Structure 1
Amino acid sequence: MIVIACPGQGSQTPGFLTEWLSDPADRAFLEEVSQNIGVDLIEHGTISDAETIRDTAIAQPLIVAASLLAWRALARRTDLSAAAVAGHSVGEFGAAAIAGVFSEHDALSLVATRGAAMAQAATEAATSMAAVVGGVEDQVLEAIESFGLTPANRNGGGQIVAAGAEEAIAKLVAEPPRGARVIQLQVAGAFHTDYMASAIPTLQEAASLVTVNDPARVLWTNADGSRITKGTEFRDLLITQVSNPVRWDSCMQSFTEAGITGFIELLPGGALSGIAKRGMRGVPSVAIKTPADLDAAVELITSANE
């Protein structure tokens, strides 16, 4: 089984969409999405600086649109009918579109609403996030909690992301757990914690207006790594996900139990494939960062289907 993953916020870098605009179909897709949601994704994916695309209201639709663009490009090259899918944090909206739970238009419209609501919630307090890499898991969790922080993303592969007050994050960076290093993330708030609770009603109202279908392919949730069979369940989990921890470690355990044979991370790839190499040793992986990476993804899919 090939698992295709949609990355979450923090995976964007300045200019990462530049090489994707030579294909008229890809440019047209981004132009249409930009018009629909009122965010110029082509500008932000090509010329905007790091601080601009750090803005949650921009970053979230930019990342999800990029993942769907890469999915479309990959689907033009190979048969993806047997691929399973999952997303990390906001990437779950991309996964929802790929699985057919939402249309692409509805998924991106909801992401734009989510991003704006979470950006507003982030202004209510000075908060941030930091990745803790390495160390002993129990000791890392104890250290995170000792600073009054939340383990917002338990990513597996030796990485846990802490979230909470900026002052507490600074202390964690200055005093890392034994055997670990702490890297502050380029995000605008403490996502997947109670600090984001005020964004939920806005997203809930928007989600109530879209058509929801049961997934047409294997789909897992960040909530606990379980497989989702009801579209309405996934919709509801996407709403509460805003203020609840991401359990990517549980997702990877589920991938392993399902017999994963390859892992492909969609644009803007890198972080999840790195975690997969540590957390699912021996499983071949491909991170799609540029159009040139599509060839390696096709080869992996072809090998798995033989």
Structure 2
Amino acid sequence: MTTLALLFPGQGSQFAGMGRHWFESQSSVRERFEQASEIVGYSLADLCFTGPPAELTRTRHAQVALLTLSFGMYEVITRDRKLPVSYLAGHSLGEISALLAAGAMRFEDAVRLVKTRGEAMEACTADGGTGMIAALRLPVADIEKCVEEFNADGHLVQVANYNSERQAVLSGTVEDLRGMTTLIEDRGGKVAKLNVAGAFHSSYMADAVPAYVAQIEKTEFTMPAVPVCSTVSGRVYESAQEIRDALSVQLTSPVRWDAVVSELTAGGVTLWIEVGPKNVLTKIVTGSVTDAVTHSLDEDTDGAYAALDRAVEERRNRPGLVGLCLGAAAATRNRNFDDDGYAAGVIAPYRRLQQLAPADDEELTGEQKRDALDLLRTIMRTKGVPDAEQQDRIASILLRTGDTDLSEPAGVTVT
């Protein structure tokens, strides 16, 4: 059974010419480029397709371009198919793309927020004296020890991204990163300089926070329609205020991508599709998760589409939760021969289940599904089914429908 997560890349995935195919072949992508261009005051199409690569790499430009392209690609793959998405996640900037895709904010608001984010972060890099490097082939614990040892001599290098067990990204001054590179390579690691202009996700971004937080406060957030995992906490957001709080500290906090991947893996994700340019996240997940099925929508478009279509077909053929509840209720042997109790605890809840049944399970809300499960519990309890057997039957239904993330019963009773 497929459990799908969509991933959105962050800064560093941009490149000259990115998105040209999507822009030229999809009118909806062109419309998003036009909308964003009006907000930021310059042509994103010119920036991405004909402008100097150095201009696209600028933080104020790269972030808006990545958000717009990634969301445009997401709209294309969801336009003609109802994807059974279980989770959304994004790396750094990509988290805003994920929140946008989950319906937690409006497109125009997301562009304005990212515009402010990019401009504020770029202002912190004006002197060109800071940057980032990726430390590879060493356990993260060893990388942290190297950082601690190096900083003991008065330097200030910070872990900015925890990407996997053997990959971290470090922020600092250019001079300090040179020294850090030598130390890591001496310990058997490998270092790669990143295509970014500053020491992101570190205290070097402190001056960017006030302007960014002010824009966050102007932005309306709602609960995501699909679970979104925070790169600050590594957990799924549970409220709109939690989104505000996490984004407010994101610029100076490390990206816990390793925790995000662990959370989604624990949630049963089996199919990972990267929505945006390049395949940076695809490579990280492939190297981190055993037997993961991964595709980059940009670099493996046919493979990604085929995997998504299989997931849609599988979901279409999966038994519905309400139907399984009705079947379990009817098949449960009755051990209660109190007519009044049977009428209240079996017949009434069964009729309420039938009222839910005509609806397409894909359109049921989480609350409606929990109601259906609680109605089944009421029926089984009235019929005298032992608690352990009730739990086994509910667990079996959730496993078959892929709704294992549903919370414990809310205590619905029928009178």
TM-score range, shorter chain: over 0.9
Partner Cα separation in structure 2 for residue 217 and residue 300 of structure 1:
20
Residues 1:174 and 1:135: Cα distance change in structure 2 (over 3 Å): same
Is the Cα–Cα contact under 8 Å of residues 139 and 167 in structure 2 kept in the other structure?
A: no
Amino acid paired to 2:96: F
Which of these residues, 282, 288, 295, is aligned with residue 273 of structure 1?
282
Are the aligned partners of 2:158 and 2:202 in contact in 1 as well (CA < 8 Å)? yes
Contact 1:5 1:265 in 2 (8 A): yes
Structure with greater proportional helix content: 2
Deviations 1:65-120 (CA, angstroms, capped at 9, x unpaired): 11101101111232125341011101111111111221111111100110000000
Show CA shifts across 1:179-206 (max 9, x none).
3210000101000001101111101111
CA distance in structure 2 between the aligned counterparts of 1:83 and 1:272, rounded to whole angstroms:
18
Amino acid at match of 2:49: T
Per-residue CA deviations over 1:263-300 (Å, capped at 9, x if unaligned) read 01111131101000011121101112159445245245
1:24 pairs with 2:27:
yes
Q: In the alignment, what sits opposite 1:160?
A: 168
CA distance in 2, matches of 1:234, 1:100: 13
CA distance in 2, matches of 1:215, 1:300: 25
Note the 1:280-295 alignment, pairs <5 A: 280-289=289-298, 292-293=301-302, 294-295=304-305
Match of 2:17 among 6, 15, 18: 15
Contact 1:56 1:188 in 2 (8 A): yes
> What percent identity do the matched residue pairs reach?
29
Matches within 5 A, 1:82-101: 82-101=85-104
Of residues 258, 280, 305 in structure 2, which corresponds to 1:249? 258
Residues 300 and 64 of structure 1: CA distance in aligned 2, closer, same or farther (over 3 Å): farther
- Partner letter of residue 194 of structure 2? L
Following superposition, the deviation at residue 26 of structure 1 comes to 1.4
Distance 1:291 1:270, change over 3 A: closer
User: In structure 1, what residue type is equivalent to 2:283?
Assistant: G
Distance 1:281 1:304, change over 3 A: farther
Residue of structure 2 aligned with 1:70, choices 63, 69, 73:
73
Corresponding residue of 2:122:
119
Alignment length (residue pairs): 306
Structure 2 length-normalised TM = 0.70
Q: Which residue of 1 aligns with 2:40?
A: 37
Letter of the structure 2 residue corresponding to residue 9 of structure 1? Q
Please tell me whether residue 224 in structure 1 is matched to residue 233 in structure 2.
yes
- Contact kept, 8 Å, 2:279 with 2:299, in 1: the verdict is no
Task: Find the counterpart in structure 1 of residue 177 from structure 2.
Answer: 169
What's 2:131 paired with?
128
Supply the distance in 1 between the matched residues of 2:221 and 2:139 (Cα, whole angstroms).
41
Say whether the 8 Å CA contact 2:146–2:183 is kept in structure 1: no
| Structure 1 residue aligned with 2:7 | 5
How far off its partner does 1:125 sit? 6.4
Q: 1:80 to 1:39 in 2, by over 3 A?
A: farther
How far did 1:172 drift?
Answer: 2.5
The list of structure 1 runs, each at least 4 consecutive aligned residues, that deviate by more than 4 angstroms after superposition, is none
Aligned-partner Cα distance in 2 for 1:301–1:8: 26
Q: Per the alignment, do residues 300 and 267 of structure 1 end up closer, same or farther by CA in structure 2, a change over 3 Å counting?
A: farther
CA contact (8 A) 1:262 1:300 kept: no
RMSD, matched Cα? 1.8
Find the residue that maps to 2:295 and give its secondary structure. Answer: strand
AA aligned opposite 2:37 = S
Aligned equivalent of 2:394: none
2:405 maps to which residue? none
User: Normalization by structure 1: what TM-score?
Assistant: 0.94
CA distance, structure 2, for counterparts of residue 290 and residue 271 of structure 1:
11
Runs (5+) with no aligned partner, structure 1: none
In structure 2, the residue matched to 1:187 is 196
Tell me the CA shift for residue 127 of structure 1: 0.5
